[in-house]
Structure 1
Amino acid sequence: MDFVLFVAVYLSVAVVSISQAQIYAPTFANGTVVARLRSRIIDEASGICASRIHKDVLYTHNDSGDKARIYAISTKTGQRLMTIEIDGASAVDYEDISCGPCDSTSGHCIYVADVGGNSGAVSNTVYKIREPEVDLTHGKGGTFHVPIKSKLEFSWDQHDCETIMVDNKANVYVVSKVNAGQYPKLVRLPHRAWGTKHRVKVDEGVYLSLKATRHDPVGGDISRDGREVLLKTHHHVYYWYVPDGDYYKHMTSQPLQLPYIQEPQGEAVCFDPQATGYYTTSEGRYQPLYYYRRINRSTKSPSS
């Protein structure tokens, strides 16, 4: 091979490598404050998820000590648009919330995870409610009651949990919260447990390639199309690309670290409905809501 041809081939390979690196690594801008939570009632926002029905609306909840209720908030103003009481539910320690399909065929639901251990007791219960279709445009912070659509109770070999995620096929995943130096466990909850009167023991799962530096992780979300995953620790936001729905396979690889502005007690993270960015916020009264805009549309991780 002569020198000119060698250089041409080398440059061609380099260009391909650069292109693949750009495709493999989605990038997001640093966070900007888009609103500040304006309700005195919301003083320990421990989880957030993006509405599938209402534009510019997130759902959140307080940590332990509140009632069986969640809140609809505006991403534009931070105003509490509505309080949603969950009739028939208990509230031991709500730790995370996820928006997703009600089942594999139709409907939009909200999943509320009563899985924390702050009160000393652990419920390990997930409530599924249908997302209210009431008009929130002129929300005045009123109250709306919804019944439980279904309930899932489980037990496993982990002692603490603060993360629930729902994929595009209504599969529910939880991630254990572990001490520094340990690896959190990802578990898929069985469909057969929904609506039964018995607590189901979950024996499956995988350990993530993410060593906790504190008592982590504290929240997570799966994109609406099921292909992207966010997981939040106290100091970082991590990302996996899952092209085929096999979360066990892909989330045992090393994640990408995304931009994150340090918050006082940040435990909440979610994609927006189109996964064109993600939100975070912190526990505490009148906390800012941060938005991290996607810069490119790449959706592959280096390990995929």
Structure 2
Amino acid sequence: MHSRPGEVLIRVFAAAGVVAAAVFTGPGAQAAGPTEPAGGGEADRVLFRFEDERITESSGLAVSPTHEDVYYTHNDSEAGPVFFAVGGDGKTRAAFTLRGAAARDWEGMAVSRDPKTGRGVLWFADIGDNFDGAWPDVSVYKVAEPASLKDAVLPAVRYRFRYEDGGHNAEGVMVDPRTGRLHIVTKEFAGAIYAAPKRLRTGRVNVLRKVGSAPIMATDAAYAPDGSSFVVRTYISATVYRDFDEQLARVPMPPLEQAESIAYTADGRALLTGSEGEDSPVHRVPLPARVLEAATPTPTPEPSTAPRAGTEAEADGATEAAGADEDGDAGVPLSAVLLWLAVAAGATGVIAFIARRTR
């Protein structure tokens, strides 16, 4: 399969990120901003590897809210509207196809619970846009979590979105379990977090409003099961937040070929992170003690305003959060950014050369 120029450039960025991680966070190097060790003396480990040969570009990752030891994933673009339920041994339990859905550029997924029934809800984000505005709108699909883990075709509800300030490339999607509100995190040098309306409509385009800043080149995001924090992943590290633009800790991530996904474990005490590629691993990374201490000790309250189709007027968006974090960007050192820019310039030249030679 031939890659589009934009996809080639993104993959070059990914390779540069791995190089930057080795150069700037290896022995004797100092990462941008403070990082904290895991709590309880635990070390990160490979939880499992995807054994299914159909899973070659795992881009989204989520823990099932109702099936024990079951994890969901999906491939990147051009793989069709399909997701997989995988056990803790890495073996696929079932593959599901979304009826009435497209897969232009699926980049992430999230989970939540229906506040009325307690049933799991899955969200699949078709939000990739390598040309930052090539698409007039992006889509997120809502699917009721299957009660039975058997291959099936599932109905999906499509919600269309546009950003209040123009098009963006994005790979992170997360749902606040306390409110049921959907958020999208852009993958840019000046990344941002956008909140969806409280009520989602199927008959019109929903407007995403900026509520906070995000690390450089964020590849995924997720809320903790109790809503006490959320995490944003980049190619190099992950940053845990208590609230928009309020950092709790920087968490070092294991070196991966192309770090794409992140999720919390069911108990909220660790992070799961994955990568693209065949037989790709899912790592379990314990959270720092500071994050665990800040976690809400009481049970998660039932969401009162879960996203759903409605006929009432669109709720007012949240106001934009105040300036960026005092420590600078949470995801990538400045020197790594300069490295990325240099690689991007070189990649652009290579793409232009190839284009001229293949006319």
Q: TM-score scaled to structure 1, two decimals?
A: 0.77
Q: Distance in 2 between matches of 1:211 and 1:111?
A: 23
Q: Distance in 2 between matches of 1:32 and 1:155?
A: 38
Matches within 5 A, 1:1-20: none
Q: What does residue 18 of structure 2 align with?
A: none
CA shift in 2, pair 1:98/1:251, >3 Å: same
Give the Å deviation of 1:101.
1.7
CA shift in 2, pair 1:191/1:106, >3 Å: farther
**Contact 1:93/1:119 (8 A) holds in 2:** no
Instruction: Confirm whether residue 206 of structure 1 aligns to residue 211 of structure 2.
Output: yes
- What is the SS of the residue equivalent to 2:59? strand
CA shift in 2, pair 1:211/1:223, >3 Å: closer
Q: What does residue 139 of structure 1 align with?
A: none
CA shift in 2, pair 1:116/1:103, >3 Å: farther
CA shift in 2, pair 1:64/1:50, >3 Å: same
Deviations 1:165-185 (A, max 9, x none): 011131100111113xx2x11
**Contact 2:262/2:273 (8 A) holds in 1:** yes
Deviations 1:142-165 (A, max 9, x none): 6211111x3211101242110000
**Contact 1:108/1:131 (8 A) holds in 2:** yes
- Runs of 4 or more, structure 1, over 6 Å off, are none
Q: Distance in 1 between matches of 2:130 and 2:277?
A: 16
2:265 to 268, 272, 276: 272
Q: What does residue 52 of structure 2 align with?
A: 39
Give the Å deviation of 1:96.
0.2
Larger helix percent: 2
User: How high is the sequence identity, in percent, across the aligned residues?
Assistant: 24
2:183 to 150, 173, 190: 173
Could you tell me which runs of 5 or more consecutive residues in structure 2 were left unpaired when the two chains were aligned: 1-35, 297-325, 327-359
Q: What does residue 12 of structure 1 align with?
A: none
Larger strand percent: 1
Q: TM-score scaled to structure 2, two decimals?
A: 0.66
Q: What does residue 232 of structure 2 align with?
A: 231
Give the Å deviation of 1:207.
3.4
Instruction: Confirm whether residue 85 of structure 1 aligns to residue 78 of structure 2.
Output: no
CA shift in 2, pair 1:167/1:206, >3 Å: closer
Q: What does residue 60 of structure 1 align with?
A: 73
Give the Å deviation of 1:189.
0.6
CA shift in 2, pair 1:171/1:105, >3 Å: farther
The CA RMSD measured in Å over matched residues stands at 2.5
**Contact 2:271/2:285 (8 A) holds in 1:** yes
Q: Distance in 1 between matches of 2:248 and 2:98?
A: 35
**Contact 1:220/1:232 (8 A) holds in 2:** yes
Give the Å deviation of 1:114.
0.5
Matches within 5 A, 1:209-220: 210-212=214-216, 216-220=217-221
Give the Å deviation of 1:25.
9.2
Deviations 1:112-167 (A, max 9, x none): 00110259954511111000111x4xxxxx6211111x321110124211000011
Deviations 1:12-32 (A, max 9, x none): xxxxxxxxxxxx997374320
**Contact 2:196/2:207 (8 A) holds in 1:** no
Q: Distance in 1 between matches of 2:200 and 2:124?
A: 16
